[in-house]
Structure 1
Amino acid sequence: MTLNNKPRIVVLGAGYAGMMTTKRLIKNLSPEEAEIILVNKHNYHYQTTWLHELAAGTINQNQVRIMIRDIINPNRVRLIYDTVVKIEKDDNRVILENSELTYDYLVVCLGYETNTFGIKGMDEHAFFIEDFDSCRLIREHIEYQFAKFNNDPNAHESSLNILVGGGGFTGIEFVGELVEKVPKLCKKYDIDRGKVKIVNVEAAPSILPNFDKDLVTYARKSLQERGAHIMEGTRIHECTEEGFIVGENNELIKAGTIVWTGGVTGSSILGKSGFDLTKGKVTVHGDLRAPGYNNIFILGDCAWVMDKQANRPYPPTAQAAMQHATTCGNNIRALIHNEPLEEFVFSDKGTVASLGVTDGMGAILGDKKLYGKAAATMKKVVDDRYLFLLGGPKLLLKKGKVRPF
Structure 2
Amino acid sequence: MAKKVVILGAGYAGLYCALELNKLATSQDAEIILVNKHDYHQLITQLHEPAVGAKNPEDITVSLNAVLGAKPIKFVKDIVVSINKEAKTVELGNTTLSYDYLVVALGSETEFFGIPGLKEYSFTMKSVNQATRIREHIEKCFENYAKEKRDSMLTFVVGGAGFSGVELVGELADKLPELTAKYNVPKDKVKIYSVEAAPSIMPGFDPELVEFAKKSLEDRGVKFSIGTPVVQVEPGKVHLKSGDVIETDTMIWTGGVRGVQQVIDAGFETEPRGRAKVDEHMRALGHHDVWIIGDACFVLSPEGRPYPPTGQISTQMGENAAVNIYSTIKHMKLEKFEPHLYGAVASLGRKEAVANLSPKFKPKGWVAYRIKDASKMRYLSSIGALFKK
**Range into which the TM-score falls when normalised by the shorter chain:** over 0.9
Residue number in structure 1 paired with 2:138: 142
Which residue type is aligned with residue 65 of structure 1?
A: T
The unaligned stretches of length 5 or more in structure 1 are 400-405
The partner residue of 1:180 within 167, 174, 195 is 174
After the TM superposition, which residues 201-280 of structure 1 pair with which residues of structure 2 at under 5 Å, given as runs? 201-249=195-243, 251-278=244-271, 279-280=273-274
Give deviations 1:66-93, integer Å, cap 9, x for gaps.
1111101366111111111111111111
Task: For 1:130 and 1:243, locate their aligned partners in 2 and report how far apart those are by CA, in whole Å.
Answer: 23
Contact 1:161 1:196 in 2 (8 A): yes
Matched, 1:169 2:163: yes
The Cα of 1:95 is off from its aligned counterpart by 1.0
The answer to which of 310-319 and 261-270 deviates more is 310-319
The Cα of 1:280 is off from its aligned counterpart by 1.7
Instruction: Determine helix, strand or coil for the equivalent of 1:200.
Output: strand
Contact 1:125 1:239 in 2 (8 A): yes
Contact 1:57 1:139 in 2 (8 A): yes
Q: What value does the CA root-mean-square deviation take over the aligned residues? A: 1.3
Contact 2:51 2:132 in 1 (8 A): yes
Task: For 1:127 and 1:313, locate their aligned partners in 2 and report how far apart those are by CA, in whole Å.
Answer: 26
Give deviations 1:197-217, integer Å, cap 9, x for gaps.
011111111111221111111
Residue number in structure 1 paired with 2:121: 125
Instruction: Determine helix, strand or coil for the equivalent of 2:120.
Output: helix
The partner residue of 1:12 within 8, 12, 17 is 8
Contact 1:179 1:223 in 2 (8 A): yes
Task: For 1:28 and 1:315, locate their aligned partners in 2 and report how far apart those are by CA, in whole Å.
Answer: 28
Contact 2:79 2:92 in 1 (8 A): yes
Show structure 1 runs of 4+ deviating over 4 A: none
Contact 1:243 1:255 in 2 (8 A): yes
Provide the TM-score with structure 2 as the length reference.
Answer: 0.97
Count of matched residue positions in the alignment of Structure 1 and Structure 2: 388
Contact 2:107 2:294 in 1 (8 A): yes
The Cα of 1:368 is off from its aligned counterpart by 1.4
Which residue type is aligned with residue 55 of structure 1?
A: A
The answer to which of 365-374 and 110-119 deviates more is 365-374
The partner residue of 1:390 within 377, 383, 386 is 383
Percent of pairs identical after alignment? 39
Matched, 1:336 2:329: yes
Residue number in structure 2 paired with 1:29: 25
Which residue type is aligned with residue 337 of structure 1?
A: K
Bigger relative contact order, structure 1 or 2 (CA pairs below 8 A, ≥6 apart):
2
Which residue type is aligned with residue 123 of structure 1?
A: K
Which residue type is aligned with residue 386 of structure 1?
A: Y
Contact 2:2 2:27 in 1 (8 A): no
Which residue type is aligned with residue 352 of structure 2?
A: D
Which residue type is aligned with residue 96 of structure 1?
A: L
Task: For 1:332 and 1:398, locate their aligned partners in 2 and report how far apart those are by CA, in whole Å.
Answer: 28
Residue number in structure 2 paired with 1:41: 37
After the TM superposition, which residues 272-351 of structure 1 pair with which residues of structure 2 at under 5 Å, given as runs? 272-278=265-271, 279-307=273-301, 309-351=302-344
Residue number in structure 2 paired with 1:402: none
Task: For 2:341 and 2:71, locate their aligned partners in 1 and report how far apart those are by CA, in whole Å.
Answer: 35
Which residue type is aligned with residue 380 of structure 2?
A: L
Matched, 1:61 2:57: yes
The partner residue of 1:98 within 79, 94, 100 is 94
Provide the TM-score with structure 1 as the length reference.
Answer: 0.93
Which residue type is aligned with residue 189 of structure 1?
A: Y
The Cα of 1:349 is off from its aligned counterpart by 0.5
Which residue type is aligned with residue 185 of structure 1?
A: L
The Cα of 1:115 is off from its aligned counterpart by 0.7
The unaligned stretches of length 5 or more in structure 2 are none
